Structures are given as structure tokens and as C-alpha cells.
Structure 1
Amino acid sequence: MPGSVFHPNASMYFGPPEDPPLSRPGYIFLAVIMAFFTGLATVLNGTVIIVSLMHKQLRQPLNYALVNLAVADLGSALFGGALTVITNAHGYFSLGRTGCVLEGFAVALCGITSLCTVALIAVERMFVVCKPLGPISFDKTHALVGIGFSWLWSLAWNLPPLFGWGRYELEGIGTSCAPDWHNREPSNVSYIMSYFTVCFAVPFAFIVLSYGKLLWTLHKVSKREGVEGGAVAKGETRVAFMVVLMVLTFLVSWLPYASLAMTVVFLPGVPISPLVGTVPVYLAKSSTAYNPIIYIYLNKQFRKYAVPFLLCRPGQLMEDEGSEATTMVESGVSKVSPS
């Protein structure tokens, strides 16, 4: 992780370091925290995938992207969260050097796919609602192409460390692995800079610009219609709240990680303790639990199937007209024109 003040070596994969950066109770505490988020993420994302397979009503183009987000987050939870629980319980990375590389690769692959999928959802909503290129329908082909691209893009940028451009290494307190932000070798620095640009900065730009355009369009429609307090204004308020929530959670979960990584790259002499460097890791890993809540369980269409499933009441369909679909803008708002 960015900010690691020790340089991992082979002995750290086979036993606890002589001078561990955290006490034994501290490691156990982190294991409990990670177990909570991992369990929550597994249940929520798993439910989304299962109910989507069970109900044909959910097999719609936009929902494909939402399910892909759930698949990527479930992968991050299982390969990252679950393994981190085990290694924290041991007090060191007990899976060996090969385990470190495989864990770092799997978590990075699923994590970047998740970010790309969030960007895909943001761009799709902007084109459908704001219509910058005229009326566009998001069909099955668009959804599958976007999903395929998100996985291929992530794979293309996470494979290089397996072949010598960059590498995966222990991070933070030494109980999880990620791309090595700390190594100052020119080849590693060039990889990290490229990785940061195309795997964080680009998706982040798409998310902010797309949702910014969506909010601006909804605001203009509300003013033009002159129905303040009416249906459009209420729809704008609900959608605006969800958009702001999406962007804020993205920033809270990923910006600290990316910022600390870039600090280490550009200012390698800055002293950052492993414990401080670990906090952004857990913020990023926690996104696998609240992504499904924000993007899916606040979507009325998904919620009316998922909540009864979680409550073991599959025959009950819950209705809640007070909520707006997180990534869907319903009838009165979806007819917005940017003119």
C-alpha cells in the first residue's frame, strides 16, 4: 500500500515481522472490521445476482450493468476481503509470495472493473436523459459491449505486473497486496503513473462530468417548466440527492487511496506510517458493501425483489413509491431535453 515504511522481503510471507507495525489486538480488530464488510458485501451482491437470475423482469439492458457491478464487487469481497480477514487474524500475510501476487491481481482486476462499470452507468444515464446526441436507447448490445470493455480494460492494465512491468507487493501493515506504489524503479514508476491515469483519473472524470451534466439538465428543466414543488421539481430533488450520494461515496472510498498512492510516487521521502497507509485500503474495500446499497437496493425495481428474498419472503413484492431508482430516472424526469 502507499505509504508503507518498511520494505517487504521473503521472510514476511512466512511469519510475522520482528517488529510488527500493529499489536495483536489491533490485527484482530481489523479482521473483525473486514469480516463485517466482507459478509455484508457477499450477502448484498450475491442477492442481486441471484434475484436477477430468478426474475426475467430484471433482465433489462441497464440492469446488466448493475449486475456486472455486483459481480465485480463480489469478486473483490471474496478475493480481497475474505483473504484479508484470514491474514489479519494471523497477523501477517500467511499466503506466501504467490498468494500475494494472485490476491493483488484478483482484487485489482475486480476493483478496476467495478470503477469502469460505475463510469459506464454514469455515461449511460447522461446520454439517455440529457440526449446530447439526440434520442438514444440503451439496448442489450450496448450493455454487453460496455460490460465486456470494463473487464478487458481492467485485465489489460492488471496483467503487466505479472510479466515484469510493475509488480504486486504487500501494502500497509503487511496483510494484503496491491500494485507496488512504493518501488522507485523507473519501470515500476512508469507503470504506476499510467495505471493511475487510465484506471482512476479517466473513470473519475467520466463519472463527475456525466453526473454534472445530468444535474445541470434537470435543473434547467425544473426552471423552464415553472413547476417548483411539482412533479419535475420533486423528481429533480430525488435524483440530485442520489447523484450527489454516488459521487461522494466514490470520492470517500477511492480518492484517499489514489491520493496517498500519488503522494508516495511524487514525494517518496514523506514519512507515512503503515497504519495510516492502511486506512485508505479499508475505505476502498468497503465500497463493495455500499455500492449495492446505493446503485441497486435504492433502485425500486431491484428492491421489490431483493428485499423479500433477503427476508425469506420470495412471494412478497414490496412497493415504495417514495424512492427513485438510483441509476434510472423515471417517467417525468426521463423525458428531459437539454434544450
Structure 2
Amino acid sequence: CKNISLDDSLTDDDNETTVFMFTLPGWQIALWTMVYSFVVIASIVGNVTVIWIILAHKRMRTVTNYFIVNLALSDLLMAAFNTVFNFIYASHNVWYFGKEFCRFQNIVPVTAVFVSIYSMTAVAADRYMAIIYPFKPKLSATNTKVIVGIIWLVAFGLAFPQCFYAEIIVSDDGMTKCTVDWPGDIGGKHQLTYHIAVIVLIYLMPLMVMFVTYSIIGITLWGNTFPGDEANRAYYQHRVTAKKKFVRTMVVVVITFAICWFPYHVYFILGSFREDIYNQKYIQQVYLAVFLLAMSSTMYNPIIYCCLNQRFRSGFRIAFQWCPYIKATERDSLKLTYPPPFQKIHKNQPTTKSNSIYCSLIK
């Protein structure tokens, strides 16, 4: 998560130093601009719609969905600021936006990615507690806001060093660069240590936690039967099926995030050990492709919600009913407004260990 300069000194056969500056032809910049513009627009429209669906409909205002709002907000921040300005910097190899915005650009990526992945982790933890420990008190709205606030504070704290040490420099060829100048960083050791710590904290560790959490949830949801009479079994099965669908949705979100960001992290780790890769002929196109894949993660979540979740799908129909071929029905409005009727457990239903399991699954 850093800005890089793509021009460097190369040595010719006569051992004379020349400057090789990476520039793209106009037609290539135009193609990259169209692709990046699509990603940014899709991300902004999709995440704003997700936020509206949750905040504008009372039934959608759950603890889990508040974390999804937080995730959508961080993706919105990433798309609107980091994607646009870093693309301009990477494609033109010149920083046009001044020192203060250079510092801002160095705090946005780490902050947004941290908030994104720890919002996903919070969703996983909330579902884990609701299913595995159903009789423990659920998170209140106040506690949820506190957790969201802590996530943002820790994210800012982790990103602050890059912001603090961000500097504007002018290279030998007169080009303005936005870089992070670590004090006393001999051989780039401080920079490497920071990036490894960031990758562990915002990628490896939360992914491991979510892998374990969703594995336990999956074993619980898919590995139990439901005692009782036929009516109650049908009701519980319906509720558990809904929970399975939500778990599938979040697992797809997590896997998509992991795939999109993996090449980006590998790129900078390799660059920290072998800076000569930045001198390769096609490295600018490679960086733009890797960066595009990472930034595209901000647009996939709304698509995943719409495809795999009925209530979000209804919300998207309502939001875009002004578009041709998209029709919102009264049923879509009901899904976002009224909860399903509650069916009580029969009084003569036996109280067993199995009952406690399926009671946990429907909560």
C-alpha cells in the first residue's frame, strides 16, 4: 500500500547512466482510463446503494448489516480517492496533487483495507456468537458503534506512519514524486518491516480468523438435524436455509477479497527484496493490472449481495426501478419492511440437547 515511482536509472553497455522513464502511449492510457472508470463508477454506485438499502429500511438495520455498511463505506472511500488519484499517478508517473494530498493518499489505502477486512471479521464473529453461543447477550447498537469506532481508530493508527513520512520529491528529470521517506532506512529495512506487518495485520491474520470461524459455523449449520414434529422441522429448516445462504454470501465476499489483493501484496513484497523488477520493460502495465485487480474488490461486494441475497436483490430492484427492464414489485417492498411471521415451538416439544442446537441456528 504505497505509491511508487516507475522511473529509475539504467546502465547501458558503455557503463554510462541514462534515465529510462516509463510512459504509456495515449491509446493505452485511454483504454486503462475506461477500465478504471468503470470500476470506480460501479463501486461508488453499488456501495452507495448498499448503504441506502440498509439505512433506509428498518428491517435491514441489524448488527450484521451495520458492519456491512462499514465495509461499503470503506470501499467507497477507496474507490473515490485512492483508485482515481493513484491511477493518474501510476499512468503518468508524475504526482500533480501537492504534499498534503500526498499524505492523504498514503493514509487512505491502509485505513480502507483495514476497515474492510475487519468489518468482514466482525460479521464472522457476530454470526459465530449467534450460532455457536445463542444464549449469550447479542451486541447492542451502542456496542456495535463502539466496535466500528475502534476499527477506524486502529486503522488510522496503522496507516499514520506512511502519512507522517510522506514527502514530495523532484527527481533528476524534473518529475514530481510522492514517496514515503522512512528516517534512517538503510537498505529499505524499515519499509520492508512495515509492509510485512501491514500484510500480516490486514490480510493474513484476519483471513485465518475468518477461515476458522466460518469452518465452525459451516460444520454447525450443515451437520445437524432438527427434532420435533413436521411443522416445526419445516420452520426451522427454512430459517437455517436462510442462514446458510447468508454464510455462503459472506464466504464469497471474503474469498473475492483474498483473491483480488493477493497479487498486490506479492508485488510489493517482491519489490522490497528485488527493486530491479521496477526497471522491467512492462512493469508499468503489470502494476496497473495488479492495482486494478485490487481496486476492483471494491465493486464486487454489491454484486455478490444482489446475486446471493434476496433482500438485497429486492433493494436493488427498488433503487433501480427507474431503469428499463427492472421492475420492483410489492413483494420487494415487503421483504425490506415486514419481518416474516413467527412460529412458536409447540408446548409438547421435548427439550433436549438437539433442541438447543436448532434453537441456536434460528436466532
> Which band: TM-score by shorter chain?
0.7 to 0.9
User: Given residue 140 of structure 1, which amino acid in structure 2 is its aligned partner?
Assistant: A
- TM-superposed deviation, 1:160: 1.2
3-state SS, counterpart of residue 27 of structure 1:
helix
Structure 2 residue aligned with 1:195, among 185, 191, 198? 198
2:13 is matched with which residue? none
Between the aligned partners of 1:180 and 1:212, the Cα distance in structure 2 is 42
> Given the superposition, is the C-alpha separation of residues 234 and 290 from structure 1 closer, same or farther in structure 2, using an over 3 Å criterion?
same
> How many angstroms apart in 1 are the aligned matches of 2:265 and 2:168?
16
Q: Distance in 1 between the 2:242 and 2:181 partners? A: 45
**Which residue is equivalent to 2:57?**
55
Q: Deviations over 1:11-49 (max 9, x none)?
A: xxxxxx963253322222111111001111111111222
Q: Is 2:208 the partner of 1:214?
A: no
Does 1:310 find its partner at 2:317?
A: no
Counterpart for residue 23 of structure 1: 25
Higher RCO (Cα < 8 Å, 6 or more apart): 1
Q: Which residue of 2 aligns with 1:148?
A: 149
CA distance in 1, matches of 2:322, 2:331: 13
Larger Rg: 2
- Counterpart residue identity of residue 242, structure 1: T
- 1:325 aligns with none
Question: Which residue in the other structure is 1:129 paired with?
Answer: 131
Given that residues 49 and 70 in structure 1 are in contact (C-alpha distance below 8 angstroms), is that contact kept between their aligned partners in structure 2? yes
Report the CA distance between 1:259 and its aligned residue.
Answer: 2.4
The one-letter amino acid paired with 1:160 is P
CA distance in 2, matches of 1:94, 1:43: 27
Name the residue aligned to 1:83. Answer: 85
Is contact 1:100–1:177 with CA below 8 Å preserved after alignment? yes
8 Å CA contact retained: 2:167, 2:180: yes
Superposition pairs of residues 1-339 of structure 1, within 5 angstroms = 6=6, 19-84=21-86, 92-131=94-133, 135-164=136-165, 184-221=187-224, 238=245, 241-268=248-275, 273-295=283-305, 298-312=308-322, 316-319=329-332, 335-336=359-360
In 1, the alpha carbon distance for the partners of 2:152 and 2:310 equals: 27
Partner SS state of residue 275, structure 1: helix
- The worse-fitting range, judged by mean Cα deviation, of 30-39 and 133-142 is 133-142
RMSD value, Cα:
4.4
2:54–2:69 CA contact under 8 A, matched in 1: yes
CA–CA distance in structure 1, aligned partners of residues 209 and 224 of structure 2: 23
Q: Bigger CA drift: 96-105 or 69-78?
A: 96-105
Distance 1:335 1:303, change over 3 A: farther
Structure 2 vs 1, CA of residues 3 and 306 (structure 1 numbering), >3 Å: closer, same or farther? closer
Rounded Cα–Cα distance in structure 1 between residues aligned with 2:284 and 2:311: 43
- Asked whether the 8 Å contact 2:78–2:295 carries over to 1, the reply is yes
Partner of 2:349: none
Distance 1:168 1:124 in 2: 43
- Matched residue type, 1:143: T
Change (3 A) 1:61 1:38: same
Checking the alignment, whether the CA contact within 8 Å between 2:78 and 2:112 is kept in structure 1 is yes
* Compared CA separation, residues 203 and 175, structure 1 to 2 (3 A): farther
- In the TM superposition, residue 156 of structure 1 has moved relative to its aligned partner by 0.7
For 1:94, what is the secondary structure of its paired residue? coil
> Is the CA contact 1:116–1:150 (under 8 Å) kept in the aligned structure 2?
yes
Sort the Cα spacing of 1:267 and 1:275 in 2 relative to 1 into closer, same or farther, 3 A: same
How far apart, CA to CA, are the structure 1 residues paired with 2:51 and 2:33? Answer: 26
TM-score by length of 2: 0.70
- Tell me how far 1:296 sits from its aligned partner: 6.6
Distance 1:261 1:253, change over 3 A: same
Q: String of CA shifts for 1:277-298, please: whole Å, max 9, x gaps.
A: 3322111111111122324774
Instruction: Report the more deviating stretch, 256-265 or 31-40.
Output: 256-265
- Contact kept? 1:3, 1:261, Cα under 8 Å: no
**Unaligned stretches of 5+ in structure 2?**
10-18, 170-174, 335-341, 344-354
User: Per the alignment, do residues 29 and 176 of structure 1 end up closer, same or farther by CA in structure 2, a change over 3 Å counting?
Assistant: farther
